[in-house]
Structure 1
Amino acid sequence: MTQTPTEVIPSSTTIEPEESKYRGQVEDIKRRSNDILERIQDFENNSKALREQQEYERERKMKDRLRLKKSDPFTPRTFESLHEEELDLRAQLQRLKKKNSRLKSQMDDMKKLLADSEAKERELQDELDFTYQKRLLLSKKLEDI
């Protein structure tokens, strides 16, 4: 058996092994090691919980996306068809605008023709009235003669 080295203290006659002098430091190191091991265990538990939480969030987001995809009418395909429909409607609007301007110009031409024909009708009516008046005068003159 090996003996532990001993230290002689002159004030006391007891012999203490050197080990007792470091016992406090050993206890302190054990306590710190246990603290570090506890922190490592806590970190592992927290990281495991964090991974589980992230996995849960990821699954929930995927379920939400699938639910929205099923319920949302605006899938890429319908968006494309809506875009095509919008382009068709814009083209139809342009055609209708052209047709509207053409019809407006025709209406303006008809209004001019109507105004001209009304003016002509008034002229003819005036001429007819004048002729009628002239006839009446001539017939009166003939009666007087």
Structure 2
Amino acid sequence: MNTKMTSNARDRLARLRAQKSQQQLQKTAGNTSVSKPGSAPGSREAMILELMVQVLKGDITDGQLLQQLRKQLLGLNQDRFAELVGVSRKTVSDIERGKGSPSQQVLNDVFKPFGLRAGIIPVSQSQTEKLINKAHDELLGG
């Protein structure tokens, strides 16, 4: 077997493993509720929304958001989570600690199991408050 063929076979195998891991993570994320026993089904969504408001307000970072979602919703350590989303444990650690410069794609990959993607957030506190108020009013039909 030549080197190119071996390399192509390894690449394909790695892609297949990554796809399987991603499917497992999506299944786990879709069937997992907040890890507290007896929590209501809506608790997962409520928790995500509350954390998103904290991110918008600047109370927590994207990394802190990821860490809380990973631990509280999925109950996974960094190694297992990284394996399932197809990034290294160091990448997960760096994101959670606010280190490094992950690409938009990497950020989308790590937040995808929670139904989130990286995006543009206003820098101005007044713009953020207007955004939150507008979203709140639209949700309540006001």
| TM-score, normalisation: structure 1 | 0.22
Give the number of the structure whose residues are more often helix, by fraction. 1
Structure 1 or 2, whichever has the larger Rg, is 1
Give the number of the structure whose residues are more often strand, by fraction. 1
Higher relative contact order (CA 8 A, sep 6+): 2
